[in-house]
Each structure stands twice: as C-alpha cells, then as structure tokens.
C-alpha cells in the first residue's frame, strides 16, 4: 500500500450552506443562520465554516438583515 492517501471524488468537507445565494428570503431561515453564529452572537469566520467567499458574504448579509429586523440579537449577554 502506498503511504499517500487516495482522495475520493467527493469533497471531504461538505458545506452546510445549501441555499442559493440569489435567494432573497435566506434571512428568514433561522435554523440555518444559527449554525453560522457563535455562542457570543458573532459571525463565524470562513476558515471555521469552510465556505467559499461568495457564500460567506451572502450568509453575513442575511445575518445582518435578520439582526436589523430583530429576528436575531446583536449580542448575546447571557451570563
């Protein structure tokens, strides 16, 4: 056997973000948005999300829209 691992054709990191970027109602999907917010209410970085740039920008915009519409808090002050 070779000491190098053979990669499958399927990407090992599957993206959680399954909504198209053109979807205007993505800020209403709070179950999906909560996966990209930390316990403190911050947006999780691209490195941890393993998202492409375009998807990360669209999820950040939808999080900000949900905050403006008071669907999400701006900060979590749970002690």
| Average confidence (pLDDT) over 36-63 | 90
Q: In 10 A of CB 63, how many CB atoms?
A: 22
pTM: 0.66
Q: What is the pLDDT of residue 24?
A: 63
Closest CA to 61 of 12, 4, 22: 22
Written as six digits, the tokens of 73 are 């808090």
Q: Which residue is associated with the tokens 């998807």?
A: 55
Q: What six digits make up the tokens of 17? A: 């973000």
Domains of the chain in start order, with CATH, are 26-68 (4.10.640.10)
pLDDT range class, residue 12, cuts 50, 70, 90: very low
Q: What is the mean pLDDT of the chain?
A: 76
pLDDT at 51 over 70: yes
């Amino acid at each position: 056997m070779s000491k190098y691992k053979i990669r499958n054709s399927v990407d090992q990191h599957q993206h959680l973000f399954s909504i198209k970027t053109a979807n205007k109602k993505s800020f209403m999907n709070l179950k999906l948005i909560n996966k990209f917010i930390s316990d403190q209410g911050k947006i999780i970085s691209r490195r941890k999300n393993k998202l492409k740039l375009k998807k990360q920008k669209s999820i950040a915009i939808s999080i900000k829209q949900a905050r403006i519409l008071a669907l999400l808090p701006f900060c979590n002050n749970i002690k």
